[in-house]
Amino acid sequence: METTTSPLSGLEPLLSIEELAEYLHVPVTTIRDWRTDGKGPCAIKVGGRVRFATSDVLAWLHQQREAEPGHGPSGG
């Protein structure tokens, strides 16, 4: 049995703003507010629509991790 791979199979998945909000269990308006305030993950605009690379989301989440329980990312 021969398997074929799509030329797109190596591309990184992109999340819509709705998918990211659902993943993070926050309202879409929160994601939009974070973008306005420069607090959320980096985005990519494709055809006028905002998309988020999964690697950017994971990197941003890593930055949000507490340095210690009960302390912010910067340890303060």
How many angstroms separate the CA atoms of 12 and 48, rounded? 19
List the chain pLDDT tens, one digit each, 76 residues. Answer: 565 666 667 889 999 999 999 999 999 999 999 999 999 999 999 999 999 999 999 999 999 988 888 887 764 5
CB atoms within 10 A of CB 60: 15
In a domain, 72, yes or no: no
Model pTM score: 0.78
- Which pLDDT belongs to residue 33? 97
| Residue 74 domain flag | no
Give residue 25's domain range: 14-64
How many folded domains does the chain comprise? 1
Q: Which two tokens stand for residue 20?
A: 């990211």
Name 64's Cβ contacts closer than 8 Å, sequence gap at least 6. Answer: 73
Does 51 reside within a domain?
A: yes
pLDDT at site 8: 67
